[in-house]
Structure 1
Amino acid sequence: MGSRRGEPYMTAEDAFTEHRPLLFTLAYEMLGSAADAEDVLQESFLRWSAVDQATVGHPRAYLVRVVTRQALNHLRTLRARREEYVGTWLPEPIRTAPEVSEDVILAESVSMAMMLVLETLNPTERAVFVLHDVFGYTHGEIAASVGKTEVTVRQIAHRARRHVHARRRRFEPDTDATRQIVQRFLHAATSGEVQTLMDLLAPDVVQISDGGGKVVAARRPITGPADVARFVLGVLRTTTTETRIEHATYNGMPAARFVTRGELDWLVAFEIHDGRITGLYGMRNPDKLHRAETVLPLDRGGN
């Protein structure tokens, strides 16, 4: 492949690697699964490799279109599978670097609460919302990716944005202040300080667990400080002296990892607003913890 005039030589693999964090972020936000996002990237790379690179004027735009189309195909299959999911479904948690929290738009877009809202959109609405409101693509650019007219994309974007804004929860990214709240919460929980525990929970707090039908987990969301506190204390009573709690960042949120005999048993991501915990998202499904050790680079790119 020859390079375009004035540009350095770049292979198909080089170009894909350069944009991979952006492409993974897009696929993950559309699918809610790191495993499925990786599958989409593999398929997209195969398609990209078969293209005459000299005919592609803007590799990033071309790759975004390919990944969007592949993700849409996957998403339609996943929606049917998730209707049969045992218990409450949560997105596969991804370990994120601290700098993700510095980009509030990116951090909120991958937060557990936002990912759950995105699940309520149809596939095309989800693609349009993510491409426009998260990645900043124009309606015309999105039209080329989803196979719709620009007028139609504009209407879809308006409908999707109204839907998301009506359901989105308050969001604060992972900071020193939110991590301190999590530390106080965990200390109170492990010490059995019920009142302190409840004081740290917002009146509308919700706890959601995902066991995938493979391990013990609450089948339905638990709401309210009293019931959430009772649930947390009950869970901690089942842990052993060999269990250690590690602090980390997942999906741009402060999180706690519960590790027993070197194995990650479960992790909890905390949603915090105005000094109180508004959401606890507990992942116990072992199928969704395979990549939990690796920090995955995320990127919205520069439009």
Structure 2
Amino acid sequence: MDIAAVDRFEASRGRLASLAYRLLGSAADAEDAVQDTFLRWQAADRDQVEVPEAWLTKVVTNLCIDRLRSAQARHERTAGAWLPEPLLDGDPMLGPADTFEQRESVSLAVLTLLERLSPVERAAYVLREAFSYPHAEIAGILDISESASQQHVHRARRRVAAERRGGAEVDPASARRVVEEFLAAAMSGRTERLVALLTDDVTAVSDGAGLAKRLLRYTTRERVATYVRAGFKPTAAKRRLAGGSPAMHIALLNGSPAVVAVVEGRVVGAVAFDVTDGKVASLRGIAAADRLTRLNEAWQQHDHEAPVINAW
């Protein structure tokens, strides 16, 4: 492959990766899809490619759709049984963040909800909401009619809006204060303080540090508060599992405030929050090592604020 063709692909790599991440919810899978796209680009008759950016977008999108269909066929990503991979704010794979719709489309809450859509609905929604593609171009990418593209996006928007908890943009400083107060309440051992910080319809989901066969789910303020209190209670067994006594940091993951547990510079777990009207509407606990790889890499490459808890 000539240098000009490689350069042309590399100029699109970041956009392709952020598109693939939104479609797949996994940084590792997104990187694989982008690499597969590069191999297709290598093998293509590039003289016949009129608009390389459009060609590459179509290839990576359809590779992602194939991956989603294959995973669903193997029951690896059934709706409600899977959590997306969290990324540290500033990660280039998060892609465009100029508008509320773009920021919303890469939030952990929306990435989780997108699992409920068909692969084609998900692709149409992402192309439209995050990358502002016109329906005519979406139709060409997905090999569907323009009216079908409009229907897919409309249906996806309706389902996401119906199930999205909160959904309004929250001031980061206000959300951080809520999470700081929440962490203090969790560490205090006073469950009633936690209950007061939760919305009436709060939900909590955890991957059980990768040890559980399925996601752990909790509803009602009392059950969520009990789960959180138990989860944040330090024990010797938890320290052994984490490889030490974690420091607790507050950071932004996919635009949402989160508590990040770190042992000697290594992220061992994260809890991301949705905050609405000054209360926690939902939280997601992610501690499976294979879901923290890219977050770990990014964490070690950047400076961070001092931890709010030095040793847990």
Instruction: Specify which of 260, 277, 280 is matched with residue 277 of structure 1.
Output: 280
Give the structure with the larger helix fraction: 2
Letter paired with 2:110:
M
Work out the CA distance in 1 between the residues paired with 2:99 and 2:15.
14
Alpha-carbon distance, 1:269 to partner: 0.7
Q: Which fold has the larger relative contact order, with Cα–Cα distance below 8 Å and residues 6 or more apart in sequence?
A: 1
- Measured on the aligned residues, the alpha-carbon RMSD in Å equals 2.7
Comparing 232-241 with 221-230, which one deviates more in the overlay?
232-241
Q: Which residue of 2 aligns with 1:178?
A: 175
**Is 1:28 the equivalent of 2:21?**
yes
Over 3 Å counting, the alpha-carbon distance change for 1:31 and 1:133 in structure 2 is: same
TM-score, structure 2 normalization? 0.82
Query: Which residue of the partner structure matches residue 294 of structure 2?
Result: 291
Shift in Å at residue 44 of structure 1?
0.4
Q: Which residue of 2 aligns with 1:299?
A: none
**Counterpart residue identity of residue 198, structure 1:** V
Partner of 1:91: helix, strand, or coil?
A: coil
Aligned to 2:267: 264
Pick one of 174, 190, 213 that aligns with 1:193: 190
Q: Aligned-pair distance for 1:42? A: 0.3
Distance in 1 between the 2:246 and 2:171 partners?
Answer: 24
Identity of aligned residues (%): 40
From 254, 263, 268, the counterpart of 2:257: 254
Aligned partner letter, 2:270? L
DSSP 3-state at the match of 2:257: strand
1:249 shift after superposition: 1.6
Amino acid corresponding to residue 172 of structure 2 in structure 1: T
Match of 1:165 in 2: 161
Residue 79 of structure 1, CA deviation:
1.5
Q: What letter corresponds to residue 51 of structure 1 in structure 2?
A: A
Once the two structures are overlaid, the 10-residue window that deviates more, 275-284 or 106-115, is 106-115
What per-residue deviation string (whole Å, max 9, x for no partner) do you get for residues 153-175 of structure 1? 22323333322222222233571
Size of the aligned set, in residue pairs, is 287
* Secondary structure class of the residue paired with 1:291: helix
CA shift for structure 1 position 182: 0.9
In 2 relative to 1, CA 167–263 (structure 1 residues): closer, same or farther, beyond 3 Å?
A: same
Which residue of 199, 204, 211 maps to 1:202?
A: 199
Deviation of 1:107 (Å)? 2.1
Q: What is residue 14 of structure 1 aligned with on the other side?
A: 7
Larger mean Cα displacement after TM superposition, 90-99 or 107-116: 90-99
| CA distance, structure 2, for counterparts of residue 182 and residue 189 of structure 1 | 10
Q: 1:170–1:108: structure 2 CA closer, same or farther, 3 Å change rule?
A: same
Q: Which runs of 5 or more structure 1 residues have no equivalent in the other structure? A: 3-9, 297-303
**What's the counterpart of residue 141 of structure 2?**
145
- Relative to structure 1, the CA distance from residue 279 to residue 189 in structure 2 (aligned partners, 3 Å threshold; closer, same or farther) is same
Q: Would the aligned equivalents of 1:202 and 1:278 in 2 still touch at CA under 8 Å? A: yes
State the distance in 2 between where 1:36 and 1:82 align: 17
Task: Measure the CA separation in 1 of the matches of 2:184 and 2:98.
Answer: 27
Partner of 1:80: 73
- Compare 129-138 and 39-48 and name the one that shifted more: 129-138
One-letter code of the match for 1:157?
V
Provide the secondary structure at the position in 2 that maps to 1:280: strand
Alignment partner, residue 303 of structure 2: none
Equivalent position amino acid for 2:217 in 1:
P
Which residue of the partner structure matches residue 307 of structure 2? none
Residues of 2 paired with 1:132 and 1:187: CA distance? Answer: 40
Does 2:107 align with 1:111?
yes
